Amino acid sequence: MEKIEIKDEDGGVTHIKRFKGKSFSPMAPDDFESHLRLVNTANYTEKDVFVVAYPKSGMNWTFEIVNMILRNSSEYFPNIPPFLDMATPSMLQSVFGNADKPGLIANHYQPQFFPQAAIKQKVRIVFVYRNPKDVAVSQYQFYWKLKGFGEYKNVSFKNYLKRYLDGNVPCGDWYSFHKEWLDLKADNQDYPILILCYEDMKVNLAENVRKIADFLEMNLEESTLLEIARKCEFRTMFQHKNSNLPPEMHMATEIKEHIFYRKGEVGDWKNWFTVAQDEEFDRHMDPLLDKIDINIRYSL
């Protein structure tokens, strides 16, 4: 891993790591090749599920829903979801060590770093995307709260937006991340990948819960599906999570709240973008969005 310093015109400094031309969190393992070998050692099966998303696109929310469906229960997951990005031998054993039940893990990696052992077993992938403007705001509000990301406190939103569009943030630029995953699906029509839209989930969560259950071939009672949708409505889940902080939350932040959930609103970007920033963002992003086949909704 190569450590890269990003300095803006106002003197704000942040760091990312790079590996094979891709951007990663400053907390990513230095010996990334060893990490990739590790994540290929797990005992994956076709029953396992990976929830994949670009940072701050609804991955934790979707993980919660998928976990409830797999367990046929509306009970909340009590801990921070296990992330492939942070995998350890004990974590992999805990998640994938029981062949009688499906493993479930979250993942921010681009396809080229996805475990080939998992691909070979055709693990199921639930991929969720969110409009890139709200993602930019959510990332900006999130990173400075994380341990190891304190330098983001000294970066203005204007300068963060430039980093974001340039790909100088964890997981690189929004467009490339999504194009690579969508290309994987397009090039492998028989591979089990479900694409979900964050904004669609906000409009009709019950419908998307059913869609996930069908994809996972889980035949749940309608009453259970509706209860999962009710429990996972963003405001309901937000209140529960902040009243029941996972014991390991202190490992991620010094803030006394569940930092993975903030507003969950569609269109919050309008409270942050100036007219000029919005126009510049569209000039940069619109030609790229024309190259990928997903529906982007900046408001409801």
Q: How far apart are CA 9 and CA 260, in angstroms?
A: 30
Assign 258 a pLDDT band (cuts: 50, 70, 90).
low
The overall average pLDDT reported for the chain is 92
Quick one: what percent of the chain has pLDDT higher than 90? 79
Assign 255 a pLDDT band (cuts: 50, 70, 90).
low
Residues 236-246 have a mean pLDDT of 77
Active site residue ranges: 108
One-character DSSP codes across 202-263: HH-HHHHHHHHHHHTT----HHHHHHHHHHTSHHHHHHHHHHS--GGGGGTBSSSS-TT-S-
The per-residue pLDDT for 170 is 93
Selection from 225, 228, 230, 127 nearest residue 179 by Cα: 127
Domains of the chain: 2-289 (3.40.50.300)
The per-residue pLDDT for 256 is 60
The per-residue pLDDT for 141 is 87
The answer to whether 98 and 271 are in contact (CB under 8 A) is no
Assign 253 a pLDDT band (cuts: 50, 70, 90).
low
The per-residue pLDDT for 26 is 87
The per-residue pLDDT for 186 is 95
H or E element that contains 92: helix 89-96
Residue 159, pLDDT > 70, answer yes
**Tens of pLDDT, residues 115-152:** 999 999 999 999 999 999 999 999 998 887 776 677 88
Q: SS3 of 7, please?
A: strand
Q: How far apart are CA 179 and CA 188, in angstroms?
A: 14
Assign 252 a pLDDT band (cuts: 50, 70, 90).
low
Residue 74, pLDDT > 70, answer yes
Rounded to two decimals, the pTM is 0.93
Q: Specify which residues 128 forms β-bridges with.
A: 196
Residue 125 has phi, psi (to 5 degrees) of -120, 125
**Tens of pLDDT, residues 99-117:** 889 999 999 999 999 999 9
The per-residue pLDDT for 78 is 85
The per-residue pLDDT for 283 is 98
Starting at the edge strand found earlier in the chain, the sheet holding 2-7 runs 2-7, 13-19, 22-24
Residue 157, pLDDT > 80, answer yes
